[in-house]
Structure 1
C-alpha cells in the first residue's frame, strides 16, 4: 500500500503545483510539505480540508482509493456557474447539454417496429419512423375547450 506522503505528492503534481505553493494552501511552509511527502509527519484535518478546497481528493490521500465524485477544476467551475443561475438559465443549459449528446439507438428495437425518440429534456426535437396521423401535445396544457 502506498504511503500518505506518496499520494500527497502525486496529488500536488497532478495539480501542477510546487511544494511551497501547495503548503501555502494549507497554511504551512515548504519544509512541512517536504516532511509530509517523505512520510516523516502526517497531515492534520485542517490542512486536508484546505487542500480539498482546491480540488485535492482527500479520500484518495487517506485510503489510496479515488472517489468517483472527485471534481476537476473545470467541472467545479461549471457547477459553480450552474448553481448561480436562475431556473431559466438552468433549463437552457440542460437543453443545450441534451442537444449535444450523441444519438443512441433504442435499446430494444424489434425489426421495423415503430419508435419515437425525444432528444434532450427541453425543446421539441423528435426523431422516429411512425407514419400516419399523430397528435403530440408538446406544451403539456391539453386541448382547449371550445366555447
Structure 2
C-alpha cells in the first residue's frame, strides 16, 4: 500500500472529505487529491496538521501503526487480546476476519467460521495454554 493510499485510508477513518481535510491542513483540495494519488508527497507541516486531527502519521509514512494512535476501545481490545489464551485469540481472529470480509449472500447460507488448530491443539506454534 502506498503513502497516498494510507493517507486516504486515515482521512476516511477520521470521517473527513478531501476538501475538509485539506482545509484543516491549510492546503488545497487539488493538493489533497495529488497526495492521495501519489502524484506529490505531503510536507512536514501538512503531516503535523493532520496529526492534530488524530491521523496516524507514522502509519501514513511507514505503514506501521503507532500504538498511541489507537482509540480507547482499540487499546482495550489489544489489552484483552494479549491476556487471552491462544484458543480465544485464534477464535477472535477468525471472527474478526470473517466480519471484515463478509461472504456474499450465497456463501452465507450454511456458512460457519472454523478455527483450524493443527495437530496437537496448537495455534501459531503454541498450545492452548500458552506453552511453546
- When normalised by structure 1's length, the TM-score is 0.47
Partner of 1:69: helix, strand, or coil? helix
Q: CA RMSD in A?
A: 1.9
Is this contact kept in 2: 1:55–1:71, CA < 8 A? no
Give the corresponding residue for 1:57.
56
Which segments of structure 1 move beyond 4 Å, counting only runs of 4 or more?
none
Give the corresponding residue for 1:43.
42
- When normalised by structure 2's length, the TM-score is 0.53
Question: Per residue, is there more helix in 1 or in 2?
Answer: 2
Between Structure 1 and Structure 2, how many residues are aligned?
A: 74
Relative contact order: is structure 1 or structure 2 higher (C-alpha 8 Å, sep ≥ 6)? 2
Mapped to 1, the partners of 2:51 and 2:68 lie a distance apart of 13
Matched, 1:29 2:3: no
Gaps of 5+ in 2: 74-132
How far apart are 1:68 and its partner, in Å?
1.0
Mapped to 2, the partners of 1:73 and 1:35 lie a distance apart of 32
Partner of 1:42: helix, strand, or coil? coil
Mapped to 1, the partners of 2:42 and 2:68 lie a distance apart of 22
Mapped to 2, the partners of 1:36 and 1:73 lie a distance apart of 29
Change (3 A) 1:73 1:26: farther
